[in-house]
Chain A
Amino acid sequence: MDLKDRLTELKFKALGEIETVEDLKRINEIRVNLLGKKGPITEVLRGMKDLSKEERPVVGSFANKVRDELTEAIAKRSEKLEIIKIAKKLEKEKIDVTLPGVSVKVGQSHIIMQVIDQLEKFFLGMGYQVVDGPEVEEDHYNFEMMNLPKDHPARDMQDTFYITNQILMRTQTSPVQARTMEKHDFSKGPLKMISPGKVYRRDTDDATHSHQFHQVEGLVIDKHITMADLKGTLQAIARTVFGDEREIRLRPSYFPFTEPSVEVDVSCFKCGGNGCSVCKQTGWIEVLGAGMVHPNVLTMAGIDSTVYGGFAFGLGPDRFAMLKYGVDDIREFYLNDVRFLSQFSQKGQR
């Protein structure tokens, strides 16, 4: 048998073996055996020295071809076996995807604080500053600077915790406004502020009353502020907190620190204004009080009321949260029942 025939025979035998091998280790052995220095092809090539000059390149090229074919076959088979091996491994790694995920531990803000945060973001965007002030106030700032002298009948509207004759727990966050107005330099631009925070009233706690609750009061003072500006601002708040479709309406009311004073109703976000239990069949829900700053308040703060004017409003985050989330007992906010607090962890609610 000449060398070519031996190579051919060798090729077919090896190809057969490669096709049927099932093991990556074995195919590596085959590769070493066939193509290695001690392999049959090398051996055949070694026998080429006995060939004639004419035959030598012919057989040589044939032998190389055989080796290339076998190398390719081995590579192909290896690749296939590799795929099978991985597939088998992955098959073994199969898991139950319906088992619960590992829980992520994240807390959240108190619901009232979420309401305040939302309002703060809104007002910061409108160029207001957020101003804090003391919870223990002077009668002077809490009442007198708000046009509520001692013995004013409207003081009955707010029962007060006094500490001494002159010192009290603030009943509203408007004293912060009085303090800010006194200091504001109008040459640096208008005053636009909100004052969020805790307030206290001498009330017996029940489902709708709490001796402690929160307020966010707002104030804008400039040269050309109108009641229409107030209406537009209130409309924007209502839509931010209660939804884009909300309408507002103003009703006359009375606060000593504003004139005119209005009570603000928002169209019911539950029924859209058709009447339901939330709005007591009226289609409207009272949400806040507002008005144009009383000239006495400006004068007392050292602002010329013939030049400057503005509006003020006050709203209750507790009430907002109660309305918005259907909480029917204000005391829930201050008991901090984990089962209550954890209900308000969802972000991005409309």
Chain B
Amino acid sequence: MKISTKWLKDYIDLDIDAQELAEKIERTAVEVDSVSRPDKGLKKIVVGKTIEVKKHPGSDHLNICKVDIGEEELAQIVCGAPNIIANKKVIVALPGSRIAGNVKIKRSKMRGEISEGMICSLQEIGFSESVVPKDYADGIYFLPENAEPGDAVYSYLGMDEDIIDLDVTPNRADMLSMRGTAYELAAIYDKKVTVKKPEIQEDESDSIEKYLQIAADEKLSSTYLIRVIKDVHVKESPMWLQKRLWNAGIRPTNNVVDVTNYILLEYGQPLHSFDYDKIAGKKIEVRLAKTGESLTTLDDEKRELLASDIVIADANGPIALAGTMGGLESGISETTEIVALEAAVFNSSSIRKTARKHNLHSEASMRFERGINRETVLEALNKAVQLIAELGNGKIVSGIAKGAKENVQATSIKITTKKINDVLGTKLSDVTIIDIFERLGFEVEGKEDTLQVLVPARRWDISIPADLIEEVARIYGYDNLPATLPSGDATPGRYTYKQRVIRDTRSILESTGLMQAISYGLTSSKKAQRFMLDAAQETHLDFPMSSDRTTLRMNLVSGLLDDVAYNNARKVSNVMLYEQGRVFYRAEEDERPQEIEHVAAAMTGLYESQSWHDEKKVVDFYVIKGIVDHLLAKLGATNVIYKATQRYEEMHPGRTADIFLDDLLLGFIGEIHPNIAKEYGIARTYVFELDLQKIIDFNNKLTVYQPVSKYPVITRDVAIAINKDIENAKIVDFIQSRSSKILKTIELFDVYEGGKIGINKKSMAYKLTYSDVSKTLADDEVNVDFEKVMQELKQEFKAEIR
């Protein structure tokens, strides 16, 4: 809502700098988008009178004009505007002037002719295209006849007014009007508002009953009034009215439409004007649209109406979409002689539905949606018909056609000053509180500290005690509130077990060099259903914004691969990222998916770069496996098993494993399939994804202290040559299961293929460590155990002990 401080003075005596006023509004009422003056930055732009207009000999569209700019000599200005004619008052930018966009105008020559300045359109001096009257949209503007050549143009155009643009929150729709804003400022500055009830002269010889019969469903329209003005001359509005409109961001059209807009701005009351002669059957009905009905609205769009749309209908059908937009057919035109003017209150949720469904958001619909002052519907209508009659030399037909008229009363709210102080944490006296309510224009009846506050209809946002408390708080000033911390019973602040595991997971992974990534939860259907740990249905958005964000993710790897791709594309080749977040698995019969905490990582490039000190370390399966081992060990998962798998289409079939905790599938690890790498345009990348919820659910036992053996350990190294396909885990398990309790650890320290080992064979070298907590081990004891196991190993795997 754009507020001209000059216009405000009609209602309230305030002489405060616009900037200061805006600051005060912002601190007490609503946000301010901007404070501006249309003439800011403009210089040397004056009224000129075209004395003579001649064709430019060297051009088919330019004219040479002699212009009276209030100097002794006429100025010669070349002008290209198609609508230029002699004997008009025009806007002249003199040499040395500045017009919109800080453009400097100089004396120049145009096709050989001197041009001392420029004759301007409204746009050229900073008017927005959307407010320039249609007649002047493609040419220069003609100032009123009384404009004095040589005067600065600004005051003629209302450009010397300060404009405060309010960003009105949905609850404060009362401030979507000049009067509402004036009441607010009166409360802030403890002033009085002056408003005059319009006086109306009706033509007693003619009566509304002859013109219209109306019927309105009160559920759709609690108040529905129409007045008729006859013998109207539709024409351009006077300058004072046009200035007020365009300063408020509304394009002047003609005296009838302009008055409706003016009343909209003054009262916040949307009005609609019909060309009476286009209303069929002298009948108007406010009802819901019927199936199959359609209407061509003012914007020349034919709209199929919905059963939820409130329409204004005549004997032939809908002539307007109530509260949103009128029909083209019944609209005011230059030939209109009788105006039927509607002032109403429409059901706000219906209007909201209509505006949304037809994508028709107007100044009127916005106000009906948020509410209007139901007390001034008739007053606004009266002021409007009076103005139209005055500006269009028309006569007001006596009487009002009423479809519905609700009886509006002030809202009475009971509140105690103690409650107010309890909520605000203040110690305001009864007098202070009552004074604040009175400044707001609320009547207060009080018995001791219990107040009965009467809130006028113009503040329909206030209905409960909490609303009154807010009024007190903001008028008293938030700066004046003390700052304390909640007292009362103490509560322990701590994470749940699940929250702790999630946070620990993050810090463990970060300690291995992984950086945390946060990717998007919404992705494409294709990416959502890859790398799936468990089977689930997709969850789709009903109405997505773009094709790559349609579906809730069911894995974290896809997002991480997007991140790798982004980095690789920017020549960042070493990428080590992890993500902790939710995936969304939906069961077929459910609408809502389950949200499961996962953790995943993607690694590519060098884990450690070559330095003067160390060799480089390229990311491979075993590097990322080391990280998973570390993570799971730190989270207390002791019996982790990796099983080679080919069940993931998106993974390398020979380099992927499922990860189990005992029999429980936790996740997978491996290299992504070369086809996927190619699709993303990324290098060889290793990933893992784990179901963190399963780790959280796994009953993690507290570490119990194990005594440390005081006796020396004995080690035995062994290298065995075996068939290449035999997995390490099998050998380790075998040794473990066949050895006695004194075997404590088995450590693989070398794997070797080729050379003397032979084709399809490999050599695996293990260090076995033996110890006993209760005694020094004898070599013999170890030897017996070791030799026995080695013999069995030979037989089981056809192994050769080397």
Instruction: Determine the distance from Cα of A212 to Cα of B609 in the docked complex, in whole angstroms.
Output: 35
Instruction: Tell me if A338 and B478 are in contact (CB < 8 A).
Output: no
Q: Mark B506-537, 1 if CB is under 8 A from A, else 0.
A: 10011111111111111000000000000000
B258 touches A (CB below 8 Å): no
Instruction: Tell me if B169 and A253 are in contact (CB < 8 A).
Output: yes
Instruction: Tell me if B495 and A124 are in contact (CB < 8 A).
Output: yes
Question: Which chain B residues in 530-573 approach chain A with CB under 8 Å?
Answer: 539-545, 549, 552, 563, 566-567, 570, 572
Instruction: Determine the distance from Cα of A125 to Cα of B485 in the docked complex, in whole angstroms.
Output: 13
Instruction: Determine the distance from Cα of A212 to Cα of B495 in the docked complex, in whole angstroms.
Output: 25
Instruction: Determine the distance from Cα of A151 to Cα of B478 in the docked complex, in whole angstroms.
Output: 31
With A107-B578, A253-B169 as known contacts, state yes or no: A231 contacts B482, CB within 8 Å: yes
B518 cross-chain contacts in A, Cβ below 8 A? 110, 112-113, 333-334, 336
Instruction: Tell me if B469 and A128 are in contact (CB < 8 A).
Output: no
B779 CB, nearest partner CB in chain A, Å: 38
Instruction: Tell me if A105 and B608 are in contact (CB < 8 A).
Output: yes
B540 cross-chain contacts in A, Cβ below 8 A? 163
Instruction: Tell me if B491 and A190 are in contact (CB < 8 A).
Output: yes
Instruction: Determine the distance from Cα of A19 to Cα of B466 in the docked complex, in whole angstroms.
Output: 102
A335 touches B (CB below 8 Å): yes
A170 CB, nearest partner CB in chain B, Å: 11
A343 CB, nearest partner CB in chain B, Å: 11
B468 CB, nearest partner CB in chain A, Å: 10
Instruction: Tell me if B349 and A151 are in contact (CB < 8 A).
Output: yes
Question: Which chain B residues in 750-798 approach chain A with CB under 8 Å?
Answer: none
A337 CB contact (under 8 Å) in B352, B465, B543, B566: B566
Candidate in A125, A167, A220, A228 with the most chain B CB atoms within 10 angstroms? A228
With A126-B493, A224-B488, A295-B464 as known contacts, state yes or no: A252 contacts B30, CB within 8 Å: yes
A262 CB, nearest partner CB in chain B, Å: 6
Instruction: Tell me if A127 and B493 are in contact (CB < 8 A).
Output: yes
A244 touches B (CB below 8 Å): no
B483 touches A (CB below 8 Å): yes
A100 cross-chain contacts in B, Cβ below 8 A? 611-613
Question: Which chain B residues in 105-132 approach chain A with CB under 8 Å?
Answer: none
Instruction: Determine the distance from Cα of A150 to Cα of B26 in the docked complex, in whole angstroms.
Output: 29
Q: Does more than half of chain A's interface fall in helix, strand or loop, or is it mixed?
A: mixed
B169 cross-chain contacts in A, Cβ below 8 A? 253-254
A229 cross-chain contacts in B, Cβ below 8 A? 425, 484-487
B513 CB contact (under 8 Å) in A105, A249, A261: A105
Instruction: Tell me if B591 and A163 are in contact (CB < 8 A).
Output: yes
Instruction: Determine the distance from Cα of A128 to Cα of B491 in the docked complex, in whole angstroms.
Output: 7
B432 cross-chain contacts in A, Cβ below 8 A? none
Question: Which chain A residues in 297-336 approach chain B with CB under 8 Å?
Answer: 309, 333-336
Question: Which chain B residues in 459-482 approach chain A with CB under 8 Å?
Answer: 464-467, 469-470, 473-474, 478-479, 481-482
A134 touches B (CB below 8 Å): yes
Instruction: Tell me if B493 and A123 are in contact (CB < 8 A).
Output: yes
B542 cross-chain contacts in A, Cβ below 8 A? 161-164
A9 CB, nearest partner CB in chain B, Å: 56
Size class of the A contact interface (CB-based, 8 Å): 35 or more
Instruction: Tell me if A336 and B577 are in contact (CB < 8 A).
Output: yes
Instruction: Determine the distance from Cα of A166 to Cα of B488 in the docked complex, in whole angstroms.
Output: 38
A151 CB, nearest partner CB in chain B, Å: 4
A138 CB, nearest partner CB in chain B, Å: 8
Q: Mark B486-504, 1 if CB is under 8 A from A, else 0.
A: 1111111111100100000
A83 touches B (CB below 8 Å): no
B369 touches A (CB below 8 Å): yes
Instruction: Determine the distance from Cα of A213 to Cα of B356 in the docked complex, in whole angstroms.
Output: 26
Instruction: Tell me if A200 and B517 are in contact (CB < 8 A).
Output: no
A212 cross-chain contacts in B, Cβ below 8 A? 520-522
Instruction: Tell me if A338 and B572 are in contact (CB < 8 A).
Output: yes
Instruction: Tell me if B474 and A260 are in contact (CB < 8 A).
Output: yes
Nearest CB to that of A150 among chain B residues? B349
Instruction: Tell me if A337 and B369 are in contact (CB < 8 A).
Output: no
Instruction: Tell me if A259 and B466 are in contact (CB < 8 A).
Output: yes
A99 touches B (CB below 8 Å): yes
A135 touches B (CB below 8 Å): yes
B484 CB contact (under 8 Å) in A102, A127, A228: A228
B423 touches A (CB below 8 Å): yes
Instruction: Tell me if B510 and A107 are in contact (CB < 8 A).
Output: yes
B29 cross-chain contacts in A, Cβ below 8 A? 252
B481 cross-chain contacts in A, Cβ below 8 A? 227-228, 231, 250
Instruction: Determine the distance from Cα of A132 to Cα of B172 in the docked complex, in whole angstroms.
Output: 33
B543 cross-chain contacts in A, Cβ below 8 A? 161-162, 202
Instruction: Tell me if B491 and A107 are in contact (CB < 8 A).
Output: no
A132 cross-chain contacts in B, Cβ below 8 A? 499
Instruction: Determine the distance from Cα of A236 to Cα of B486 in the docked complex, in whole angstroms.
Output: 12
Q: Mark A81-116, 1 if CB is under 8 A from B, else 0.
A: 000000000000000000110110111111011000
B33 CB, nearest partner CB in chain A, Å: 12
Instruction: Determine the distance from Cα of A58 to Cα of B424 in the docked complex, in whole angstroms.
Output: 108
B600 touches A (CB below 8 Å): no
A210 CB, nearest partner CB in chain B, Å: 9
Nearest CB to that of B584 among chain A residues? A136
B353 cross-chain contacts in A, Cβ below 8 A? 151
Question: Which chain B residues in 579-604 approach chain A with CB under 8 Å?
Answer: 581-582, 584, 591-593, 595
A163 CB contact (under 8 Å) in B171, B539, B581: B539
A338 cross-chain contacts in B, Cβ below 8 A? 515, 567, 572, 574-575, 577
B160 touches A (CB below 8 Å): no
B517 CB contact (under 8 Å) in A102, A110, A223: A110
A153 cross-chain contacts in B, Cβ below 8 A? 170, 348, 352, 369-370
Q: Mark A180-192, 1 if CB is under 8 A from B, else 0.
A: 0000000001101
Nearest CB to that of A292 among chain B residues? B423
Question: Which chain A residues in 256-302 approach chain B with CB under 8 Å?
Answer: 259-263, 292, 294-295
Instruction: Tell me if B482 and A228 are in contact (CB < 8 A).
Output: yes
Instruction: Determine the distance from Cα of A16 to Cα of B378 in the docked complex, in whole angstroms.
Output: 131
Instruction: Determine the distance from Cα of A167 to Cα of B513 in the docked complex, in whole angstroms.
Output: 39
Instruction: Determine the distance from Cα of A157 to Cα of B169 in the docked complex, in whole angstroms.
Output: 10
B728 touches A (CB below 8 Å): no
Nearest CB to that of B370 among chain A residues? A153
B422 cross-chain contacts in A, Cβ below 8 A? 224, 226
Instruction: Determine the distance from Cα of A154 to Cα of B173 in the docked complex, in whole angstroms.
Output: 12
Instruction: Tell me if A223 and B370 are in contact (CB < 8 A).
Output: no
Instruction: Tell me if A231 and B483 are in contact (CB < 8 A).
Output: yes
A175 CB, nearest partner CB in chain B, Å: 13
Instruction: Determine the distance from Cα of A236 to Cα of B483 in the docked complex, in whole angstroms.
Output: 10
B26 cross-chain contacts in A, Cβ below 8 A? 251
Instruction: Determine the distance from Cα of A47 to Cα of B506 in the docked complex, in whole angstroms.
Output: 86
A233 CB contact (under 8 Å) in B349, B470, B486: B486
Instruction: Determine the distance from Cα of A8 to Cα of B539 in the docked complex, in whole angstroms.
Output: 107
With A136-B584, A202-B545 as known contacts, state yes or no: A222 contacts B488, CB within 8 Å: yes
The 6 residue pairs across chains A and B that have the minimum distance between CB atoms: A228-B425, A226-B425, A260-B470, A254-B169, A105-B513, A124-B493
Residue numbers of A with Cβ under 8 A of B are 99-100, 102-103, 105-110, 112-113, 123-130, 132, 134-136, 138, 151, 153-154, 156-157, 161-164, 166-167, 169, 189-190, 192, 198, 200, 202-204, 211-212, 220, 222-229, 231-233, 235-236, 249-254, 259-263, 292, 294-295, 309, 333-339, 341-342
| Complex A-B: 8 CB contacts under 8 Å | A134-B592, A134-B595, A163-B540, A164-B542, A169-B521, A254-B172, A292-B469, A339-B570
Sample of 15 further A-B pairs with CB below 8 A, known A226-B423, A294-B466, A336-B515 = A103-B608, A107-B514, A127-B493, A136-B595, A151-B349, A151-B352, A167-B592, A212-B520, A227-B481, A229-B487, A250-B478, A251-B26, A295-B466, A337-B570, A339-B572
